Structure 1
Amino acid sequence: MWWESPLSPVKLSARRLRQQYLPSATDTIVSYYVMVTVDGYLAGNTFACRWKCDGMTVCWVTQLVVDKDYRDIGLASGLLRSLRKTTDDIYGIMSSHPAACLAAAKSFGSKYNPNL
């Protein structure tokens, strides 16, 4: 997504989010929650949903959070890797935060598909 101020936060209304980035109300949606604890402390979690779109399976991460005391040790990538399925065709993350985007790139990899 490109916008006029690449260093500013992405502004996205609830209406635009529903219309352009989320499945329709008639789609079957499965939601996922994954958490990681360190010594009994909730160190991070992620929410995601999965649905079909044009015959492909989409895995869309809607939230990824890691406690500031547990960052830079791979927890975010581990959380995202736990969401992966061999049946997924498309991965996305609803974040413009560089660390979240990097964790998604590391976790989901990149595979060029000329049909997308």
Structure 2
Amino acid sequence: MIDYTKHEGAAITEDMIDDIAVSFSENYGVWGPAVKPEKQGRRVRASPARLRADCLPSSPARNFLVQAKDKHRLVGHVIATRWTFENLSICWITQLCVNMRYRHQGLATKLLIKLSEDNDDSAVGILSSHPFAIAAVLRALGKRLRQTNECVGNSQIKTIMASCPVDYVRTARLRGSAFESNVDDGTISCADTKFFVDHAEPHAALDALRDKGIKWPLGRLPEGHEFLAFVERP
């Protein structure tokens, strides 16, 4: 049986950060062809210090961690930051990772549902190269992976992201027809984050969605970019 626990702020201990850094480094993905040859194909790794710097900004942001454990073994986690933008409560998912042996069991969606418990988020955002991570966010919020406007529907998204306490979100450059005019490269909703993870696994996920008759609503993903979803809650 998988147990889900949520922790906030100071309750996120150094031991927890150590565990999720190991899990991320073992399960997330590998570097793609745009990085130095000696890094290509190697696991993307994050030290506890790097994870804290990238995903857990300082106050006044509120940081959350949800862990999924199978008999005390960490098998998945989600990290998120919440902040206020013009009286709106924004939640940004900064890391979502599931152990490879536990995928395709709805674990990511359950992590995200646990994250949303007892919180009145106005909107939830995520940058991810993996279509299944985007799909899990939509499922957790009761949305469907069908229409672009359900995935990115707020005209203030640029300003909201610019206010984000998380550095890589705040500095991301939005790309695609959802944000730019005269786009002819197939991009719809993504951002240049300079994160050159290999796209073989995301492409396989897109093929799997296509086989189910689902048309991917966020367009093409260039190297160094991540898909962007920003979902408003009713």
Q: Report the TM-score when normalising by structure 1.
A: 0.69
More helix, by proportion: 2
2:125 matched residue in structure 1: 92
> Structure 2: which 5+ runs fail to align?
1-31, 33-57, 144-149, 157-234
Cα distance per residue 1:2-26 (max 9 Å; x no partner)? xxxxxxx9xxxxxxxxxxxxxxx8x
Q: Quote the RMSD (CA, aligned, Å).
A: 2.9
Partner AA of 2:93 in structure 1: V
Whole-angstrom CA distance in 2 between matches of 1:93 and 1:114: 14
Partner AA of 1:42 in structure 2: L
Aligned equivalent of 1:107, options 120, 123, 140? 140
2:75 matched residue in structure 1: 43
1:58 matched residue in structure 2: 90
Deviation of 1:39 (Å): 2.6
Please state whether the residue corresponding to 1:83 is helix, strand or coil.
helix
Inter-CA distance 115–93: structure 2 relative to 1 (3 Å threshold): closer
1:13 matched residue in structure 2: none
Identity among equivalent positions (%) equals 33
Deviation of 1:94 (Å): 2.3
Deviation of 1:86 (Å): 4.6
Partner AA of 1:97 in structure 2: H
Whole-angstrom CA distance in 2 between matches of 1:50 and 1:114: 17
> Structure 1: which 5+ runs fail to align?
1-8, 10-24
Q: Report the TM-score when normalising by structure 2.
A: 0.36
Structure 1 residue ranges (4+ consecutive) displaced by more than 3 angstroms after TM superposition: 112-116
